[in-house]
């Protein structure tokens, strides 16, 4: 069954609001917000605003119930997990920092943290900081020539010294999808914890985190058609129960005295202070909207667009694509260079044609170094894109070449 992209686009107000031509190909940085999420955010902030968790008057009670319903909606998107395993954060970055901080007591001299070269800085720098603080060793997992996780190299590095393995589910540069289930099996065999950055994968369909076998999985609402300011760290209930708090303050405690504090059970133990209530409700609305989609049709549509883009770029002699050539091995995140031109110049000229792309190192400098480049242009597809967006980019690159020589 084919995807009705026109119907999908009607759920995104920006496409009616922006004057043509408008070809949005930067969803890997932030996706557009779907109408249900935008309406949930506006409704809370203008008609139902109250703090959550402890208010006993009707408005506050309604806000708390809506907040917990958002948690349940996210749990359904993640394969029907226990909602108590869903920790709300401000985004992927905070979720991964939470993971690194709370796992720090398991680290120390003689212990190792394995981090792949594919990672966004959000899944590398926190581990550098915690290793420097604890004396643990940070060990890189190399990438293959086409920018995929080198599974054999990972398995060769795993041993009983390994405490944590941190990998991306899908690269924000190459679009390469990691075989998380295989990584999880190897990680579990040595008794280590597997932390997965799911920020890029979650917009491309529901993820069954239990089936993947990972221990912690982080993502952001704004990349899955919600608002900025809210995200999720999912964790196995058994593991969350063992982890210490990350931030201290209100709402994460059961009892406080000057002598000591007793902390709340997960997930509230990890949600200190007033949460980003409106963005969380938008995240929940986006999760419900996503859950109702025909993902077989969506993914077939995205693969076809990715193939069209890769084939079009391959026909341009000055273009070098970073990442797998096979659309089956990647999501629609495609980074490339147009020699000898700087990516920022390319992106600015594409904008003249109404094509929105991103240029830079994409917060993945070790992976850029792996490819021997400082920066690249990145076009990222989502379910609301169609053939006209891909063709506009390819035609725009011809315009860029005519302008830059």
Residues 306-356 pLDDT 10s: 999 999 999 998 999 999 999 999 999 999 999 999 999 999 999 999 999
Q: Please report the pLDDT score of residue 17 as a whole number.
A: 98
Residue 80: predicted pLDDT: 98
Give the span between the Cα atoms of 391 and 106, in whole angstroms: 50
The class of domain 5-25+294-404 in CATH terms is alpha beta
Distance CA 94, CA 57 (A): 31
CA distance 8 to 4: 7
| pLDDT per residue as tens digits for the range 381-395 | 999 999 999 999 999
How much is the mean pLDDT over the chain? 98
| Cβ within 8 Å of residue 28, ≥6 positions away | 172, 200, 223, 333, 358, 362, 378, 380
Q: Hey, how many other C-beta atoms are within 10 angstroms of the C-beta on 369? A: 12
- Where residue 283 falls (left for φ over 0; alpha for ψ -120 to 50; beta otherwise) is alpha
What is the pLDDT, as a whole number, of residue 134? 98
- Residue 20 — φ and ψ, nearest 5°? -75, 155
Query: pLDDT by residue (tens digit) across 362-379?
Result: 999 999 999 999 999 999
* Range 38-291: architecture per CATH: 3-Layer(aba) Sandwich (3.40)
User: Could you report the per-residue pLDDT of 97-125, keeping only the tens digit for each?
Assistant: 999 999 999 999 999 999 999 999 999 99
Catalytic residues: 363
Q: How confident is the model at residue 150 (pLDDT cuts 50, 70, 90)?
A: very high
Token readout for 187 is: 């990680």
Domain ranges of the chain: 5-25+294-404, 38-291
Q: Could you report the per-residue pLDDT of 284-298, keeping only the tens digit for each? A: 999 999 999 999 999
Model confidence pLDDT, tens digit, residues 19-40: 999 999 999 999 999 999 999 9
Strand pairing partners for 316? none
Domain 5-25+294-404 and domain 38-291 have a common topology: no
Alpha helices in 159-292 (DSSP H): 180-189, 209-212, 237-242, 277-291
Q: How confident is the model at residue 405 (pLDDT cuts 50, 70, 90)?
A: confident
What is the biggest distance separating any 2 CA atoms in the chain, rounded to whole angstroms? 72
- What is the three-class DSSP state of 74? helix
* Residue 363: per-residue pLDDT: 98
First to last CA, the chain: 43
């Amino acid at each position: 069954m084919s995807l009705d992209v026109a119907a999908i686009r009607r759920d995104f107000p920006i496409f009616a609001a922006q004057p043509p031509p408008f070809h949005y190909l930067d969803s890997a940085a932030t996706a557009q917000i779907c109408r249900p999420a935008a309406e949930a955010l506006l409704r809370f902030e203008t008609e139902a605003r109250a703090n959550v968790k402890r208010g006993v008057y009707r408005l506050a009670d309604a806000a708390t119930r809506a907040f917990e319903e958002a948690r349940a909606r996210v749990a359904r998107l993640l394969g029907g997990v226990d909602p108590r395993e869903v920790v709300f954060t401000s985004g992927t970055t905070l979720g991964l920092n939470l993971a690194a901080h709370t796992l720090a007591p398991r680290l120390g001299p003689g212990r190792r943290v394995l981090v792949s070269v594919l990672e966004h800085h959000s899944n590398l720098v926190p581990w550098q900081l915690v290793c420097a603080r604890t004396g643990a060793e940070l060990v890189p997992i190399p990438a293959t020539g086409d920018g995929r996780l080198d599974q054999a190299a990972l398995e060769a590095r795993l041993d009983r010294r390994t405490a944590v393995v941190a990998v991306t589910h899908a690269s924000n540069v190459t679009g390469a999808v990691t075989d998380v289930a295989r990584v999880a099996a190897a990680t579990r065999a040595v008794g280590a914890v597997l932390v997965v950055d799911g920020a890029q994968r979650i917009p491309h369909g529901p993820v069954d985190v239990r089936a993947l076998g990972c221990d912690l999985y982080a993502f952001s609402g704004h990349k899955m058609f919600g608002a900025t300011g809210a995200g999720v760290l999912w964790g196995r209930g058994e593991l969350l129960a063992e982890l210490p708090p990350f931030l201290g303050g209100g709402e994460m405690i059961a009892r406080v005295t000057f002598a000591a504090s007793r902390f709340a059970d997960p997930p509230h133990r990890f949600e200190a202070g007033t949460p980003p209530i409106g963005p969380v409700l938008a995240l929940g609305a986006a999760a419900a909207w996503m859950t109702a989609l025909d993902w077989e049709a969506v993914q077939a549509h995205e693969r076809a667009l990715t193939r069209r883009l890769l084939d079009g770029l391959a026909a341009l002699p000055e273009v070098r694509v970073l990442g797998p050539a096979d659309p089956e091995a990647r999501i629609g995140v495609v980074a490339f260079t147009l020699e000898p031109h700087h990516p920022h110049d390319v992106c600015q000229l594409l904008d003249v044609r109404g094509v929105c792309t991103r240029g830079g190192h994409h917060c993945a400098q070790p992976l850029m170094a792996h490819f021997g480049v400082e920066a690249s242009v990145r076009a990222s597809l989502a379910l609301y894109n169609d053939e006209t967006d891909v063709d506009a980019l390819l035609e725009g690159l011809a315009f860029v070449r005519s302008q830059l020589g």
